[in-house]
Chains A and B, each alone.
Chain A
């Protein structure tokens, strides 16, 4: 490459014009991709809102599920049911996930830790329909649809998500704090309770909320393990429990105009709950990060 002439005006010389053109094209492509991604989400949300908002009413939110003719009242039992299933799934998945993450960051030697990490990563990628079949074999055959089978299936979906996010939070806790606690003759578990977990709590709570939001919309496993339920409120986990994803599925299948609008309405409710959980969780993280730098 030739050396630039120092007396030349500071306008592009040599191949800089071409290099800048390539750079600008790539920047444009990246920007366009980002705009597209946001636009897809925006259009999707707008669509659900436009179609679904008409269905919303107090009766719709609280009424019992519509009969197969599609001309029923609401989705109240499904909202309660999804809440309950996700709650139980979280109660199963959060302790297992957090303790697994603690095992990996605080106790496991690398030789044991790396294969477990790999298993967790693979688990996060297992198709949820496969999880459904597995839980069907395990808990549903001979018993029928049950709420606890649904909770177990969703907890299997949630567990690797919580573990991975908790791992990230725990890895961010500075090693020097563990060393400081070790040097004080405090046992490892006390160190975890007193020093490690308080620094990671916010991240772990956020991860749990996000995983719960993800599980709330999970449809495939429920299709197999919790698809038979009555139209009324059912909170007994030994029975099939109404849930939002399958209610949307059935309403969409009925095909009548009212059912279709109710499907949009139920979709709106589900989307709203998930977005609210996401935004809430991210606000929590944001607050935590700001505080960490004070």
Chain B
């Protein structure tokens, strides 16, 4: 499997897509979730510097400062309307097409400003993939769903292998290997969502953003997606928005709690190692949320 994330789990045999310029501070190692802060010594993938977001006159997000680390799963949790999805979508510029969207501050990706006028939006998304809340497979065959983007990006060699690897990585291969040519719309919701994950990783991105990927799924499908996230972070940096605290606790190494601050504007309340954030939240608002007093 070729990816451009580093790490011992990979056997790279062909050069992949564009590599981000690396500023490796240490070799990333797979983490146990309990123990020392998993962020220690890791490369910073995203750095939000005083980020604010406006939709027209309405401010949705204010003064976000946080760093997201390589090969970790980072969860964004918080009540509805707190701006966690807005922040996630700002990480690969999916908000650009929303009229009135305006971002203040800086979002750095491997040190490059994502919103620099020279930064190309298509290139940004080529490196930072996204899986959405509702499964949204293309009305094409299972095979073509996975192969479409690589084909358009010029990654045409060994397409069958690429499709197989992506489907295996998304833990879907065994279920679909005998019907690759049939329509993706015939899959169940959970299978469709795993297909969307396979589609996202088929182009070998650096980061996979997941926007409540299991909220439309039943508990069994949810469990398989969560298991998958655990595997995927070995190779990709994962940022996941979830409204489900248990899910954050299960899959994320680090968790950021967003909520409405003063003036009803979403902001980052607390961010840290997941076990610490849930066991001993520093902020009373975090404590109230994780103990189920609101949200």
Contacts and interface: CB of A to CB of B under 8 A. Distances in A.
B138 A195 contact: yes
B132 A194 contact: no
State the majority secondary structure of interface residues on A.
Answer: helix
B94 A182 contact: yes
A185 B132 contact: no
A278 to B, nearest CB: 27
A260 B160 CA distance: 68
Interface stretch (B121-129, B238-246, B279-287): B121-129
Contacts of B153: 185-186
Most buried by A among B124, B130, B138: B138
Interface in A102-151: 109-110
A184 B122 CA distance: 8
B204 to A, nearest CB: 11
A269 B152 CA distance: 48
Chain A interface residue count: which class? 20 to 34
B196 to A, nearest CB: 7
Contacts of A187: 122, 152
B205 to A, nearest CB: 8
A188 B152 CA distance: 11
A194 B124 CA distance: 20
Chain B interface residue count: which class? 20 to 34
A93 B131 CA distance: 39
Contacts of A62: none
B76 interface: no
Nearest to A187: B122
23 contacts: A110-B99, A176-B132, A177-B136, A177-B139, A179-B132, A180-B138, A182-B94, A182-B97, A183-B125, A183-B130, A183-B200, A184-B125, A184-B129, A184-B149, A184-B200, A184-B203, A185-B127, A186-B148, A186-B149, A186-B153, A188-B122, A194-B152, A198-B139
Interface of A: 109-110, 174, 176-177, 179-188, 190, 194-195, 198-199
